[in-house]
């Protein structure tokens, strides 16, 4: 029987989210790709946490393009890193960076849970926001520099397949899939601190719903094999999300959209650096 979108973005009549609509909703939430913005897609995405890591594969593959397309033997590594940094935000936008900034302010404020939640709603950026954004952008640029050098090393015979620097691509993809799996974990494990984006994502997910996203993320760890960089990048990104979940539960009473956005940005940076370190030590 053919599936058709129900009025709330689910497949009529069973109430299961339509996979194509869920992926469109995930792309609209996680990237700036022109996929449209139907309410049914957003509803389907909220009910389909596996869409997080699946879109992570696409985003990771696209983010690796500077290391694949630029001739690393001729273009200086800092230039490749600068292109990578710009490309990250051209592709993914700055909505999640805004969440990171808000969480940076909440992390440094004193006054308890209510004060922290109040800071999250404040549109004024403070020192905590500035520091958080600077650290992440700098970390991303430095990760790009390390990856550019790794891509050059991947050009050695025996380290690439058809000219594709697999270890470099594998680390980028694994870090991105791990960051997205971390967001899915927050939606499944977390409870919303307030009404808003966090509530919309957590109310349709549960810990049991994380089995499929976790299984979907496993292949990302194997792209860079036999280098352990992919495995470590994936795990590091997910661990960041778990750390934020514990911090938010203790200090905010739950998660919100800012925590989700921060998990994405911090998870990406942590995954990239961890993956490169694992490759260096292997």
Q: Is residue 20 part of a domain?
A: no
CB 63 within 8 A of CB 31: no
The yes-or-no verdict on residue 14 having pLDDT over 50 is no
Q: pTM of the prediction?
A: 0.87
Domain containing residue 273:
49-281
Measured in whole angstroms, the distance separating CA 112 from the mean position of its chain's CA atoms is 29
The answer as to whether 38 is a domain residue is no
Q: How many residues does the chain have?
A: 282
Pairing relationship of beta strands 16-17 and 4-5 according to DSSP bridges: unpaired
Q: Which residue has the tokens 């957590």?
A: 202
Q: For the chain, where are the alpha helices, taking DSSP H only? A: 19-30, 39-46, 51-63, 65-69, 77-92, 95-108, 113-121, 127-154, 166-189, 197-202, 211-217, 229-251, 257-281
In terms of pLDDT, which residue wins out, 1 or 27? 27
Residue 24 included in any domain: no
What domain count does the chain have?
A: 1
Q: What is the pLDDT of residues 168-195, one digit of tens each?
A: 999 999 999 999 999 999 988 878 767 7
Is residue 58 in some structural domain? yes
**pLDDT digits 0-9 by tens, 232-274:** 999 999 999 999 999 888 888 888 888 899 999 999 999 999 9
Q: How far apart are CA 47 and CA 206, in angstroms?
A: 10
Between 89 and 163, the higher pLDDT residue: 89
Q: Is residue 21 situated within a structural domain? A: no
Mean pLDDT over all residues of the chain? 83
Report the pLDDT value the prediction gives residue 114, as an integer from 0 to 100: 60
Structural domain contains residue 204: yes
Is residue 216 in a domain? yes
Flag whether 42 is in a domain. no
Overall average pLDDT of the 66-92 stretch: 90
Top pLDDT among 255 and 147 is at 147
64-73, 118-127, 185-194, 223-232: which has the highest mean pLDDT?
223-232
């Amino acid at each position: 029987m053919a599936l058709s979108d129900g009025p709330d973005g689910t497949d009529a009549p069973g109430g299961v989210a339509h996979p194509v609509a869920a992926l469109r909703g995930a792309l609209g939430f996680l990237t700036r790709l022109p996929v449209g913005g139907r309410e049914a897609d957003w509803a389907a995405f909220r009910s389909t946490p596996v869409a997080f890591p699946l879109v992570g594969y696409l985003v990771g593959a696209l983010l690796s393009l500077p290391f694949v397309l630029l001739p690393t033997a001729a273009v200086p590594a800092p230039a490749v890193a600068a292109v990578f940094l710009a490309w990250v935000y051209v592709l993914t936008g700055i909505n999640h960076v805004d969440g990171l900034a808000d969480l940076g302010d909440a992390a440094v404020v004193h006054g308890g849970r209510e004060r922290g939640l109040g800071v999250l709603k404040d549109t004024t950026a403070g020192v905590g926001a500035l520091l958080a954004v600077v650290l992440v952008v700098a970390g991303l640029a430095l990760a790009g520099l390390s990856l550019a050098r790794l891509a050059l090393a991947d050009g050695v015979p025996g380290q690439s397949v058809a000219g594709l620097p697999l270890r470099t691509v594998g680390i980028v993809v694994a870090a991105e899939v791990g960051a997205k799996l971390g967001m899915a974990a927050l939606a499944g494990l977390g409870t919303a601190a307030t009404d808003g984006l966090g509530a919309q994502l957590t109310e349709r997910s549960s810990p049991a719903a994380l089995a499929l996203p976790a299984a979907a993320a496993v292949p990302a760890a194997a792209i860079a094999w036999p280098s352990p960089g992919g495995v470590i990048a994936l795990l590091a990104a997910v661990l960041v999300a778990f750390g934020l979940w514990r911090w938010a539960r203790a200090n905010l009473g739950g998660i919100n959209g800012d925590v989700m956005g921060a998990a994405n940005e911090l998870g990406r940076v942590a995954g990239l650096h961890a993956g490169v370190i694992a490759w260096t030590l292997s």
